[in-house]
Homo-oligomer: A and B are copies of this chain.
């Protein structure tokens, strides 16, 4: 098996290295001895694609190098494309992907880090930290007392590995957790699970709302101005999904009107957010530059473990756990 790793040009923080691959192979001896190639540039990519059966790379590399119609021609032996991101909305629509090629996301590499970010965000909102950030900009010492999380209700939109870990932490701190996902199947860390058909009534009870869903045609704009208006007075929001899941201006308007008490967002429209954008200045809005979920200390090790687990499953004739279904978008 030939596996090609295409790191983005100039990537310094998260390039997958031969040493990380060697360590991952030692953790998974059952994978055997695949051949690996590495490149950052065009020539290395072109040379590798002639032979590669598996490509591990970044979403933006896939988008740039595989326009509609390029596959399978430029990579005749390619069977698997594994992306280092959990959300592959940047590759949608998937008309560029021939059905015989398996597309894998990186769901699971973010659980520990993103779970802690989610808990931190809930605690920050319970303690009015976004408000104090605004106060600090105005150099104003204005007390506002917060409460513990116990007994408060959080609605978590999306119960993948990020939302599921968030639910686990919220539960451990005594919160009542309402999960929202495609099916109403119970979840071990939720008191209640509803589908989007039950979203409106869940929002009406959501003292905290945490967005952790993939961006798909169904979730784009899901938290619109009307739904933001359904939240209880003084509700608090966290967005760890994508900026396009909510109506960003409606959120800013609700903060300015005092209808929402605070927001922590790890995502924005657009990214990078330019200076002068209202998001930076909206009172009670804390902006984090899309770093909630990637831990440099563990990310590539987790990525390679996930890739190997998927390759082993496919070799055994089982479904690849991280396979993206183009028709649902994740």
Residues of A within 8 A of B (CB): 13, 112-113, 116-117, 119-120, 123-124, 126-129, 132-133, 135-150, 173, 268, 271-277, 280-281, 286-292, 294-298
Given contacts A126-B116, A147-B113, A275-B140, contact A132 B295 (CB under 8 A): no
CA distance A123 to B136 in the complex (A): 20
Q: Give the shortest distance, in Å, between A219 (CB) and chain B (any CB).
A: 23
Are A143 and B277 in contact, CB atoms less than 8 angstroms apart?
Answer: no
The answer to whether A139 and B13 touch (CB under 8 A), given A116-B123, A120-B127, A149-B116, is no
Q: Which residue of B lies closest to A273 (CB)?
A: B141
- Nearest CB on B from A27, distance (A): 18
Complex-state Cα separation, A309 to B119, whole angstroms:
34
**A109 → chain B closest CB, angstroms:** 12
Can you offer 12 A-B residue contacts whose CB atoms are under 8 A?
A113-B148, A116-B123, A116-B127, A120-B120, A133-B133, A135-B289, A137-B137, A139-B281, A142-B289, A144-B291, A145-B295, A147-B298
CB distance from A90 to the nearest CB of B (A): 17
Q: Are B280 and A136 in contact (CB under 8 A)?
A: yes
Residues of the B chain whose Cβ atoms lie less than 8 Å from the Cβ of A287:
132, 136, 141
Give every chain B residue within 8 A of A120 (Cβ-Cβ): 120, 123-124, 127, 129
B136, A290: Cβ atoms closer than 8 Å: no
In the bound complex, do residue B136 and residue A286 qualify as a contact, i.e. CB atoms below 8 Å apart? yes
- Pair B173/A116 contact, Cβ less than 8 Å: yes
Would A280 and B139 be within 8 Å (CB), given that A144-B291, A295-B146, A296-B147 are in contact? yes
Q: Known pairs A113-B148, A139-B273, A143-B289; list 12 more (Cβ under 8 Å).
A: A113-B147, A116-B127, A123-B123, A124-B124, A127-B288, A127-B292, A136-B287, A139-B276, A141-B273, A142-B289, A146-B291, A147-B296
Chain B residues with CB under 8 Å of A294's CB are 145
- Of all A-B residue pairs in the complex, the 9 with the closest CB atoms, nearest first, are A120-B123, A141-B272, A139-B275, A139-B280, A141-B289, A147-B297, A141-B273, A147-B295, A143-B289
Question: Of B127, B138, B271, B280, which one neighbours A117 at CB under 8 angstroms?
Answer: B127
- Residues of B near A136 (CB, < 8 A) are 133, 137, 280, 286-287
Cα–Cα distance between A127 and B289 once the two chains are bound (Å): 11
Which of chain B's residues have a CB closer than 8 A to the CB of A147? 113, 295-298
Nearest CB in chain B: distance from A170 CB, A: 12
- Of A119, A126, A139, the most chain B CB neighbours within 10 A belong to A139
Q: Nearest chain B CB to A221's CB is how many angstroms away?
A: 23
